[in-house]
Chains A and B, each alone.
Chain A
Amino acid sequence: MAPAQEVSPDTRSDNDLLLSIAVTQCREAFSTLFQRLGPRVKAYMMKVGASPDVAEEITQETFVSVWRKARQFDQRKSSAVTWIFTIARNRRIDRLRKERRPALDPYDPLLVPNKIPTPLEELEQSSIVKNVTASIEKLPVDQRDVVHLSFIEGLSHQEISDRLKTPLGTIKSRLRLSFEKLRLSLGDSQ
Chain B
Amino acid sequence: MTILHHPGDDLVLGYAAGSLAESWSIAIAAHLTYCPICRLKVEAAENVGGSLLGGLDAEAMAPSALDLLLTQIKGVEQNEPEKPRASIKESSPSKQLSILPSALQSYIGNDVDALPWQRLKNDVFQYLIETNDYEAKARILRIKAGRPVPSHGHRGRELTLVLSGSFEDELSKFSTGDLQDVAEETVHKPVAASGDGCICLAVKDAPLQFKELIPRILQPVLNI
Binding site for B on A (CB under 8 A): 22, 25, 27, 30-31, 34-35, 37-44, 46-47, 52, 55-56, 59-60, 63-64, 67-72, 77-79, 81-86, 88-90, 92-93, 98-115, 118, 120, 128-129, 132-133, 136, 147-148, 150-152, 154-157, 172, 175-176, 179, 182-183, 186, 188, 190
B187 at the interface (CB under 8 A from A): no
Residues of B within 8 A of A108 (CB): 33, 85, 101-102
Q: Considering the chains assembled together, what is the distance between the CA atoms of A147 and B70 in angstroms? A: 34
Q: How far is the CB of B129 from chain A (nearest CB, A)?
A: 10
Contact A40 B26 (CB under 8 A): no
Contact B9 A89 (CB under 8 A): no
**Contact A71 to B56, CB < 8 A, known contacts A103-B103, A175-B10:** no
**Contact A156 to B34, CB < 8 A, known contacts A31-B66, A64-B76, A129-B51:** no
Contact A39 B61 (CB under 8 A): yes
**Contact A38 to B49, CB < 8 A, known contacts A92-B18, A108-B33, A108-B102:** no
Binding site for A on B (CB under 8 A): 1, 3, 8-10, 13-14, 16-22, 25-26, 28-30, 32-37, 39-41, 43-62, 65-66, 68-70, 72-73, 76-88, 91, 97, 99, 101-104, 106-107, 131-133, 135, 177
| Residue in contact with B19 in the complex, picked from A79, A90, A104, A150, CB distance below 8 Å | A150
**Contact A182 to B132, CB < 8 A, known contacts A35-B66, A44-B53, A68-B77:** no
- Identify the closest chain A residue to B26 (Cβ): A102
What 11 additional pairs, Cβ within 8 angstroms, besides A69-B78, A182-B48? A64-B76, A81-B50, A82-B46, A84-B53, A99-B133, A104-B29, A110-B33, A114-B39, A120-B44, A175-B9, A188-B44
Contact A112 B177 (CB under 8 A): yes
Contact A118 B61 (CB under 8 A): no
Q: Considering the chains assembled together, what is the distance between the CA atoms of A30 and B72 in angstroms? A: 13
Residues of B within 8 A of A100 (CB): 22, 106, 131-132
Contact A81 B54 (CB under 8 A): yes
| Residue in contact with B17 in the complex, picked from A77, A114, A133, A150, CB distance below 8 Å | A150
Which secondary structure characterizes the binding site on chain A? Answer: helix
Contact A30 B73 (CB under 8 A): yes
Q: How far is the CB of B84 from chain A (nearest CB, A)?
A: 5
